Amino acid sequence: MLPSDIHIAEGGTYNSGVKNSLREVVSRAFRLRGRRPSVVLLLWSNWILLGVSWGMSVKAYFGLHGRMALWSSLWTQPVFVGKSRLFFFYPAVQLAVFMAGLSVGRNLFIKAADTSDLASLKTEITYLELIFINVLFIHLQTGLILVSYGLGRGVNKSYMAIVAAVIVMLVPYYHIRRRILHR
């Protein structure tokens, strides 16, 4: 049975306009109108990573016993303190960096686009940068959690270097894609 064949109690038939109006409401609510599906997926990926970060931190915090790692350096030993709400410092900073990156990206980088294709490319690059920044924060938090539980040594230097390199490599990636777009 097709949606157009569904009969409503008053004797009318289902109107596919309801489906379209629902789609419009969702598009307006999430500002998805005119955006490519890949860009929408990248934005949702960022929000999922933020949720994972906060969920991981809350779960780990309630499992901590007496002390926690507050700082894990690449070169020195971790700093331990008593269990406190400072444990949520990294997720809070991650959220602040994400919101600032989103705002700066939209207001300075994306709005300066000449065409809708260039705006889409700039949006994609902004969201990709934010994904890798979120991954960086999640790695820092995971290292602190593992140190706090006595299961790890802290931050993995190689992993940090690779993620930082990927963030830097997105700049030439953007310029190459922009040249291809202008051909």
Q: Between β-strands 67-71 and 79-82, what pairing exists: parallel, antiparallel or unpaired? A: antiparallel
Is residue 145 pLDDT above 70, yes or no? yes
Q: How many CB atoms lie within 10 A of CB 156?
A: 15
**Does 145 lie in the same domain as 72?**
yes
What are the helix and strand counts (H, E) for the chain?
Answer: 5, 2
Number of domains in the chain: 2
* Residue 52 pLDDT grade (very low, low, confident, very high; cuts 50, 70, 90): very high
**Does 165 lie in the same domain as 89?**
yes
Q: What is the pLDDT of residues 113-136, one digit of tens each?
A: 777 788 888 888 889 899 989 999
State the pLDDT at residue 17.
52
The single-letter DSSP state of residue 88 is G
**Does 77 lie in the same domain as 11?**
no
Domain range for 16 is: 1-33
State the pLDDT at residue 53.
92
State the pLDDT at residue 108.
79
**Does 56 lie in the same domain as 23?**
no
Structure tokens at 172: 């030439």
- The C-alpha atoms of residue 94 and residue 172 are separated, in whole angstroms, by 25
**Does 130 lie in the same domain as 44?**
yes
How many residues make up the chain in this entry? 183
**Does 108 lie in the same domain as 19?**
no
Q: What does pTM read for this prediction?
A: 0.71
CA 77 to chain CA centroid, nearest Å:
30
**Does 29 lie in the same domain as 39?**
no
Pick from 122, 128, 87, 129: nearest CA to 106: 122
**Does 149 lie in the same domain as 60?**
yes
State the pLDDT at residue 130.
92
Q: How many CB atoms lie within 10 A of CB 129?
A: 19
**Does 158 lie in the same domain as 143?**
yes
**Does 99 lie in the same domain as 68?**
yes
**Does 52 lie in the same domain as 40?**
yes
For residues 45 and 131, the answer to whether their CB atoms sit within 8 Å is yes
**Does 51 lie in the same domain as 1?**
no
- The C-alpha atoms of residue 138 and residue 57 are separated, in whole angstroms, by 10
